[in-house]
Chains A and B, each alone.
Chain A
Amino acid sequence: MFKIVEKREMAGNTVCHLKIDAPLIAKKAQPGQFVVLRANETGERIPLTMAGNDPAKGTIDIIFQVVGKSTALLRTFNKGDAILDVIGPLGKPTHVEKLGTVICVGGGTGIAVLYPITRAFKEIGNHVISIVGARTKDLLIMEAEMKGVSDEFFVTTDDGSYGRHGFVTDALKDLLDARKDVKLVIGIGPIPMMKFVCKTTEVYGIKTMVSLNTIMVDATGMCGACRATVGGKTQFCCVDGPEFDGHQVNFDELMKRQAAYLKEERQSYERFQKEQR
């Protein structure tokens, strides 16, 4: 059992932050790694990236968007409650190196995943430019945190309610036009966003890393649920990733595989909402 020591609602209750007591995982976790959680005995195993970890206090942070049954269930947990299973740290850590100028692009809850990675690139001495985006102002998360680890910082919203009106890719394109010293772009967010970030950077020939949030079961390389085609080869995102060279990723296949259980997910979520009433 893994106790929740802190809970915080974000982005108008669509996103939730949990600080969980998991001392061994906290000690080992590195940027880019994730945990798998199973909330209770009938729960499914879902992967969530660690948005932070405190080895001294023995805690890890997860920030998740409520999109279906399992995340909605997790959100019903309060401070003092315990999660049945937390497994980690899983996946390969981000390869952090000093390159010069690095652009970090985050969308939606992807910003939570991007934050520890951005911080690591900053700490090692890169010039970090961040672009974060959301559909609308209220849904933007972790603005202060991201700003705190960036040398330059930009915000976009799809509806223009805050920052620049437009998509993160618009801001990215302007930056890439303006400066020729960008060594790496890291794009993390919804699949369509990552796909378009990659399309944008491809033109400039700039290496782009993305983090693939495929459906997973065991997350130890045992089942192959998480397979994605990268560079024409099948990769298991849980052990070979989750980060990959975005220019090699078959995003269309990824999107279809993500939608494989839409019908069941809806059934599950509706059943849960009825039970809650």
Chain B
Amino acid sequence: MAEKEKKEKIPRQPMPEQDPKVRSRNFEEVPYGYTPELAQKEANRCLQCKKPKCTEGCPVGVKIPEFVNLIAGGDFIGAAKKLKEDNSLPAVCGRVCPQESQCESLCILGKKDEPVAVGRLERFAADYERKQGTVDLPQIPPSTGKKVAVVGSGPAGLTLAGDLVKQGHQVTIFEALHKPGGVLVYGIPEFRLPKAIVDAEVDYLQRLGVEIKYNYVIGKILTVDELFAMGYHAVFLGVGAGLPVFMNIPGENLCGIYSANEYLTRSNLMKAYLFPQYDTPIAVGKHVAVIGGGNVAMDSARTALRLGAETVHIVYRRSKTELPARAEEAHHAEQEGVQFKFLTNPLRYIGNNDGWVTGMECMEMELGEPDESGRRRPVPKKDSNFILDVDLVVVSIGTGANPIITGTVPNLELNKWGYIVADPETGKTSREGVYAGGDIVTGSATVILAMGAGRNSSKAMHEYLMNKSNTVA
């Protein structure tokens, strides 16, 4: 008991980060990460619970007390190895997991004090290992002679590819874009997830023997049936939720109105923030409105600031409590000067003669009865219309299922929104030998859930592949 009280006295260690004024104008990563001293101090706060609650909050069941204990004892490489037993992308998850609603939300310390900073520690251990350059390769068993095609190189596909190659299968990833990582490279900005980290993870997979083919839009250049005909024994579909949703309100096709996908793809994947060194242009708004309240909206708003906007408003139809973004992201956005217009909904856009957006008519909302999601439904407030002057708008109200792949696999069962129907435990679809996981099954979710889906499918696919009767060609 005395021990426990003593530990609670150490406050949760903050992570050093760039000054908001400075960082809101550059694309470098916001937090610097823990130093070894800070990490050990934070790790020492953990009570090493016999029945750790924290682990239950992690979708992939990372052995939290064990890896934290290794950090406390100074074995940082050991901690990274422990993490990788359950999570193949700890440097990514430590940065982007919504910890406050997952692992950290259940930490026992959080009852009276602040929870152990699991995410920051995870990031520290993974970064330490990467920087030391000591990532050694596991022993790969002899080839099973089975070939697997993975469509999409997002977190779901990467995780699955790593797991299967480690079991001796031959794995090829087919990626539509010219770079690997899915949303990790085209969506999440550099200041939140440096691309070098994703590259390092992908490099590791390639050293394990995973082959990646870029510029392959499956459904166009090859169909899933053709992949089978080419000798692949099983196929995993991890194509994400790559279809932007617009509001279908008047004026939405004016110039200066982007989907978040386009805005972020231009900036991140195509490096438009480095224009004209890079050829892809991006419109730099003076007065920017971002519609929506999720991580994607925060990323767009913060990108707009960094590109040089004078004012950036997040326009969200519910209130602050319902904001779906990670708390840290909303906090960072606010610190950097992003302004929030809660309980506000756009009705139409106003443009000039050149077809550029100049304004947005909005309406105020109030919260009514709870809807199907359990959140209180926003209802329009009478006579509350007003006009917000804007010259750039980023629509960030969600994404849907892209039909390029799903429309070209005969007999693949889809739900009414066009997502693939797959067994949540195994990723098995209605087509023999075809598995699916990540956002294309669940709708847009999180990196860790996509990775968990990849992991689950890898187990099921391994069993399927090893059962001879399934895969005699």
Which residues from chain A sit less than 8 Å from chain B, CB to CB? 24-25, 28, 38, 42-45, 69-70, 73, 84-90, 217-218, 220-225, 227-229, 234, 239, 253, 256-257, 259-261, 264-265, 267-268, 271
Contact = CB atoms under 8 A, between A and B. Distances in A.
A43 B280 CA distance: 7
28 contacts: A24-B221, A25-B221, A42-B277, A45-B280, A70-B279, A73-B279, A85-B214, A87-B178, A87-B217, A88-B220, A89-B220, A218-B176, A218-B265, A220-B402, A221-B402, A221-B404, A222-B261, A223-B265, A224-B262, A228-B253, A229-B253, A234-B246, A234-B253, A239-B403, A239-B404, A259-B355, A260-B255, A271-B276
A92 B252 CA distance: 25
Given A88-B220, A224-B244, A260 B283 contact: yes
Interface string B236-263: 0000001110101000110110110110
A87 B176 contact: yes
Contacts of A228: 253
Contacts of B277: 42
Interface string B257-300: 01101100110001100011111110100000000000000000
A259 B278 CA distance: 20
Chain B CB within 10 Å, residue with most, of A85, A87, A222:
A222
Given A224-B258, A265-B281, 16 more contacts: A24-B222, A73-B279, A87-B215, A88-B220, A220-B402, A221-B242, A221-B404, A222-B242, A222-B265, A224-B244, A225-B258, A256-B354, A256-B355, A259-B354, A260-B255, A264-B281
Interface of B is mostly: loop
B252 A234 contact: yes
B278 A42 contact: yes
B177 interface: yes
Given A220-B404, A239-B404, A264 B261 contact: no
A222 B220 contact: no
Nearest to A28: B221
Contact of B221 (A42, A89, A260, A264): A89
Contacts of A268: 275-276, 279, 281
A97 to B, nearest CB: 22
A43 B402 contact: no
B221 A217 contact: no
Instruction: Give the interface residue-count category, chain B.
Output: 35 or more
Contacts of A221: 242-243, 402-404
Interface string B330-372: 0000000000000000000000001110000000000000000
B439 to A, nearest CB: 12
A227 B217 contact: no
Contacts of A239: 403-404
Contacts of A87: 176, 178, 215, 217
A38 B270 CA distance: 10
A70 to B, nearest CB: 6
A217 B215 contact: no
Interface in B183-221: 214-215, 217, 220-221
A233 to B, nearest CB: 9
A43 B242 contact: no
A73 B279 CA distance: 11
Interface of B: 176-178, 214-215, 217, 220-222, 242-244, 246, 248, 252-253, 255-256, 258-259, 261-262, 265-266, 270-271, 275-281, 283, 354-356, 402-404
B265 A44 contact: no
A239 B277 CA distance: 30
A253 B403 CA distance: 26
Contact of B279 (A24, A42, A225, A257): A42
B270 A217 contact: yes
A224 B283 contact: no
Given A24-B222, A227-B253, A260-B255, A86 B215 contact: yes
Contacts of A227: 253
Contacts of A223: 244, 259, 261-262, 265
Contacts of A86: 215
Contacts of A229: 253
A267 to B, nearest CB: 6
A43 B404 CA distance: 25
Given A224-B246, A227-B253, A239-B404, A69 B279 contact: yes
A53 B385 CA distance: 55
Nearest to B178: A85
B266 A217 contact: yes
Contacts of A224: 244, 246, 258-259, 261-262
Chain B CB within 10 Å, residue with most, of A43, A217, A223:
A223
Nearest to B278: A42
Contacts of B243: 221-222
Contact of B217 (A44, A45, A90, A234): A90
Contact of A44 (B176, B280, B403): B280
A239 B219 CA distance: 12
B220 A28 contact: yes
Nearest to B176: A220
B246 A88 contact: no
6 closest Cβ contacts across the A-B interface?
A: A256-B355, A264-B281, A223-B262, A44-B279, A222-B242, A44-B280
A264 B275 contact: yes
B221 A257 contact: no
A38 B178 CA distance: 9
A257 B355 contact: yes
A224 B246 CA distance: 9
Given A38-B178, A89-B220, A217 B265 contact: yes
B276 A220 contact: no
A85 to B, nearest CB: 5
A228 B242 CA distance: 19
Given A217-B270, A222-B244, A43 B262 contact: no
A176 to B, nearest CB: 31
Nearest to B222: A24
B140 to A, nearest CB: 28
Contacts of B275: 264, 268
A59 B222 CA distance: 17
